[in-house]
């Protein structure tokens, strides 16, 4: 089976046509989706009027789902499925979160460039975000192609990055916003994990930068130097030619590959308008340090 797709950007991202995800895709369709993801890294499915069960079934058809939601106040969950992430500004009763609610403060970190679950030992593979209610203005999601960003680096820079190991944590990303209101249990749960800075994306046969706002240090490097390097790489990797901006319509489902993209939410009037987004997340096959890399990196 071949999917009918329309490219949305010169480098990556495409819209998929003629699929109704209310019906769980069969093995042949799933294989076609995986191939399209390997090529485009971001897929947009318009007008998908899914309920939570159907969205969960779609995710499970593509691979194993993450079990744990990395949030504060995780006992305050309004959705049916514990494995579904509530990417909204809504409280358990459906009202808007209060302006000073710690969940709202924590969720502001979604506006930083990141890769989902890079702070977990085995990070995320695909994310599938469904827009149930979207604001009238703002609230776009931007995606950056980390394979193209790697390709654009000078050879000397590639050589300097080879073998570097970073530490990722939600504590690091939220510290950039001044958020430090954690319980002892949350601090332990968000302890840093080790990840490669450069990854091999097997489906496309390309290298990819593995950047995220969750990075807080690089092993063997003074922290100010490490964070300056991460800042410079992030600025280079998120230049406009590498970025696709998705403007949400109601019932869009957008799926992206966290192994080779970064993304960020854009602001909207979240104290005035509801934004109800629900995410199902597939986990990767293993920690990045356990995944093979072809050698040498910089010989490309």
CA gyration radius, the chain = 19
Residue 45 in domain: yes
Lowest mean pLDDT among 21-35, 148-162, 282-296: 282-296
Give yes or no for a contact between 75 and 49, defined as CB atoms under 8 angstroms apart. no
Average pLDDT over every residue of 241-265: 98
Q: Comparing C-alpha atoms, which of 210, 211, 175, 171 is closest to residue 191?
A: 171
Residue 184 host element (H or E): helix 184-189
Q: Domain count of the chain?
A: 1
Q: Does 295 have pLDDT greater than 80?
A: no
Q: Is residue 245 part of a domain?
A: yes
Name the pLDDT band for 236 (thresholds 50, 70, 90): very high
pLDDT of amino acid 297: 63
Average pLDDT, the chain: 96
Average pLDDT over residues 137-161: 97
For residue 119, what pLDDT is reported? 98
- The pLDDT, as a whole number, for residue 40 is 98
Residue 101 pLDDT more than 90?
yes
Task: Read off the CATH number of the domain in which 206 is found.
Answer: 3.60.130.10
Rounded Cα distance, 73 and 182, in Å: 10
Lowest average pLDDT, out of 30-39, 77-86, 141-150, 288-297, goes to 288-297
Kindly state whether residue 298 falls inside one of the protein's structural domains: no
The pairs formed by 8-12 with CB atoms below 8 angstroms and a separation of 24 or more are 8/42, 8/44, 8/244, 9/145, 9/244, 10/241, 11/145, 11/148, 11/241, 11/242, 12/40, 12/41, 12/42, 12/143, 12/145, 12/147, 12/148, 12/244, 12/261
Q: Tell me what pLDDT residue 1 has.
A: 80
**Is 238 inside a domain boundary?**
yes
First to last CA, the chain: 32
pLDDT band for 131, please (50, 70, 90 cuts). Answer: very high
Question: Please, are residues 136 and 273 in contact by the beta-carbon 8 Å criterion?
Answer: yes
Flag whether 125 is in a domain: yes
Q: Rounded to an integer, what distance in angstroms lies between the CA atom of residue 195 and that of residue 197?
A: 6
φ and ψ of 264, to 5 deg: -155, 150
In the predicted structure, residue 96 carries a pLDDT above the cut 80: yes
Does residue 294 fall inside a structural domain?
Answer: no
| Residue 29 belongs to some domain of the structure | yes
141, part of any domain:
yes
Q: Domain of 24?
A: 4-285
Q: What is the DSSP letter of 114?
A: B
Asked if 275 and 140 count as a contact pair (C-beta separation under 8 A), the reply is no
Place 298 in a pLDDT band, splitting at 50, 70 and 90: low
């Amino acid at each position: 089976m071949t999917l009918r797709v329309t490219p949305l950007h010169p480098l990556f991202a495409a819209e998929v046509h003629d699929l109704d995800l209310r019906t769980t895709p069969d093995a042949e369709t799933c294989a076609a989706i995986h191939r399209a993801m390997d090529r485009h890294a971001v897929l947009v499915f318009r007008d998908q009027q899914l309920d939570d069960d159907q969205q969960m079934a779609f995710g499970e058809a593509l691979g194993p789902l993450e079990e744990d939601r990395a949030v504060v106040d995780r006992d305050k969950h309004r959705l049916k499925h514990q494995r579904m992430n509530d990417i909204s500004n809504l409280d358990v009763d459906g009202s808007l979160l209060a302006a000073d609610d710690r969940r709202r403060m924590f969720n502001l970190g979604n506006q930083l460039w990141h890769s989902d679950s890079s702070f977990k030992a085995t990070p995320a593979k695909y994310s599938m975000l469904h827009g149930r209610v979207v604001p009238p203005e703002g609230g776009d999601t931007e995606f950056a192609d980390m394979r193209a960003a790697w390709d654009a680096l000078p050879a000397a820079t590639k050589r300097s990055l080879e073998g570097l190991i970073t530490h990722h944590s939600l504590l690091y990303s939220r510290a950039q916003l001044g958020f430090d209101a954690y319980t002892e249990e949350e601090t332990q749960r968000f302890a840093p994990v080790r990840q490669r800075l450069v990854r091999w994306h097997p489906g496309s046969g390309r290298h990819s930068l593995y950047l995220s706002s969750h990075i807080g240090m690089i092993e063997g490097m003074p922290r100010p130097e490490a964070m300056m390097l991460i800042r410079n790489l992030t600025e280079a990797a998120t230049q406009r030619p590498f970025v696709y901006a998705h403007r949400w319509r109601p019932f869009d489902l957008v799926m992206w590959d966290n192994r080779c993209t970064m993304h960020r939410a854009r602001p909207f009037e979240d104290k005035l308008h509801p934004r109800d987004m629900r995410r199902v997340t597939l986990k990767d096959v293993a920690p990045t340090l356990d995944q093979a890399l072809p050698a040498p990196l910089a010989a490309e």
